[in-house]
């Protein structure tokens, strides 16, 4: 009988889960993987399905603070933007960020990390970004927002790999002329472009 490779998928998954729980949550050394029965795994899967929503929310709130600083908003105006974000249900129709006052703004948040620890987005990730960019430029069927009257933002996590992957994507995309990568001192006054912003939650 052929001797199989020494790699064991269950051992690898066990080590990854146990290490994460011990180091990130500072839990005592135990075999948490071994203690998870079918019901526990199903419940954990349900809880973890909200991770993307949590990540998106944190990035939205970081973007609200960024807007407050970049647009010289008052504390109460920034707080109002934060409240409007918090009051919107996860995965609701429309844009991730929609505000009409003090400045009309729509924004889509992408928490994509380039696949395989690379600096280029995968094809599915590129399709998702293109879909959001198109919605910012042309509107959504389930939103009555007139996009030409709003400042438009694509908001991403701020890491070197994400910056490189995003620049690579737009440099070869049909949207290249409609995108402005925001840098300090940019005047955010154009309604005909999408401002690309990187924030750290």
Give the number of other CB atoms < 10 A from CB of residue 10.
8
Whether 35 maps to a domain, the answer reads no
Cα-based distances in Å from 54 to 25, 89, 109, 194: 17, 11, 12, 24
Whether 30 maps to a domain, the answer reads no
Domain span at residue 74?
51-199
Whether 20 maps to a domain, the answer reads no
pTM, 2 dp: 0.84
Whether 186 maps to a domain, the answer reads yes
Whether 139 maps to a domain, the answer reads yes
The per-residue pLDDT string of the chain (201 residues; one tens digit each, 9 = 90 and over) reads 566 667 888 999 999 999 999 999 999 999 999 999 999 989 988 888 888 889 899 999 999 999 999 999 999 999 999 999 999 887 778 899 999 988 999 999 999 889 877 889 999 999 999 999 999 999 998 888 999 999 999 999 999 999 999 999 999 888 899 999 999 888 899 999 999 999 998
- How many domains is the chain partitioned into structurally? 1
Whether 6 maps to a domain, the answer reads no
Whether 36 maps to a domain, the answer reads no
Whether 178 maps to a domain, the answer reads yes
């Amino acid at each position: 009988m052929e001797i199989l490779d020494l790699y064991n998928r269950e051992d690898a998954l066990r080590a990854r889960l146990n290490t994460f729980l011990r180091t990130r949550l500072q839990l005592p050394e135990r075999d948490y993987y071994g203690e998870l029965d079918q019901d526990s795994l199903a419940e954990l899967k349900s809880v973890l399905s909200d991770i993307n929503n949590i990540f998106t929310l944190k990035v939205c709130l970081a973007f609200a603070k960024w807007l407050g600083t970049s647009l010289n908003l008052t504390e109460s105006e920034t707080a109002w933007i934060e409240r409007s974000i918090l009051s919107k249900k996860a995965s609701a129709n429309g844009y991730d960020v929609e505000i009409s006052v003090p400045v009309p703004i729509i924004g889509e948040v992408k928490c994509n990390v380039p696949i395989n620890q690379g600096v280029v987005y995968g094809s599915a990730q590129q399709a998702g970004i293109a879909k959001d960019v198109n919605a910012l430029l042309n509107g959504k069927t389930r939103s009555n927002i007139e996009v030409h009257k709003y400042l438009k933002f694509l908001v991403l996590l701020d890491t070197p790999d994400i910056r490189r992957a995003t620049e690579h994507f737009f440099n070869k995309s049909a949207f290249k002329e409609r995108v402005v990568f925001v840098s300090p001192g940019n005047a955010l006054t154009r309604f005909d472009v999408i401002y690309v912003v990187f924030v750290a939650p």
